[in-house]
């Protein structure tokens, strides 16, 4: 829908084309980010939990400390925050101009909801999951 709105209204508002391009780049990066979480970070956390649960010796992990993959995640979270601040600025905080059709208005609403959900995801990971994972590793060390 964003692509169609950018195509239809892009001549009137070229910022829509830039918003579309930023959002597409975000989707690619977020897909890669989620893959890293599923393939590296979450299995690492599961291993920490198993180590605690079964009272085992902390194994050597291929990426060293849990702080290494968390550092990557924090950097990527920061990049997405920057990208969405740019999208918000380009879209005048997700507001549609007077001439906007219903699709344009819907796209602005959906982009804002996406950003809100992204911030929630980042908050939960940065301020809860990551801190608890680091504390668990320190406890087990």
One digit per residue, the tens of pLDDT, for the chain of length 141 reads 888 889 888 888 999 999 999 999 999 999 999 999 999 999 999 999 999 999 998 888 777 899 999 999 999 999 999 999 999 999 999 999 999 999 999 999 999 999 999 999 999 999 999 999 999 999 998
Whether the Cβ atoms of residue 47 and residue 59 lie closer than 8 Å to each other: yes
* Residue 116: CB atoms within 10 Å: 11
> What pLDDT score was predicted for residue 66?
94
Model pLDDT, residue 7: 87
pLDDT value at residue 81: 96
Q: Dihedral, CA atoms, 118, 121, 123, 124, nearest 10 degrees?
A: 170
Cα separation, 39 vs 112, in Å, equals 29
Q: What is the pLDDT of residue 64?
A: 84
Residue 60 has what pLDDT? 82
pTM value is 0.89
53-71 burial, b for 16+ CB within 10 Å, e for fewer?
Answer: eeeeeeeebeeeebeebbe
The distance of Cα 38 from the centroid of its chain, to the nearest Å, equals 14
pLDDT recorded at residue 92 = 96
Phi, psi of 66 (to 5 degrees): -60, -25
pLDDT at res. 69: 95
């Amino acid at each position: 829908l964003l692509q169609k709105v950018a195509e239809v209204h892009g001549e009137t508002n070229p910022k829509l084309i830039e918003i579309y391009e930023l959002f597409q780049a975000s989707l690619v990066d977020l897909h890669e980010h989620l893959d890293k979480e599923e393939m590296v970070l979450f299995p690492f956390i599961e291993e920490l939990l198993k180590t605690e649960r079964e009272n085992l010796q902390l194994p050597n992990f291929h990426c060293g400390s849990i702080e290494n993959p968390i550092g990557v995640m924090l950097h990527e979270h920061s990049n997405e925050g920057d990208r969405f601040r740019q999208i918000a600025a380009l879209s005048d905080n997700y507001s549609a101009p007077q001439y906007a059709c219903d699709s344009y208005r819907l796209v602005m609403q959906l982009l804002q909801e996406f950003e809100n959900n992204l911030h929630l995801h980042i908050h939960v990971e940065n301020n809860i999951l990551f801190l608890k994972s680091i504390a668990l590793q320190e406890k087990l060390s």
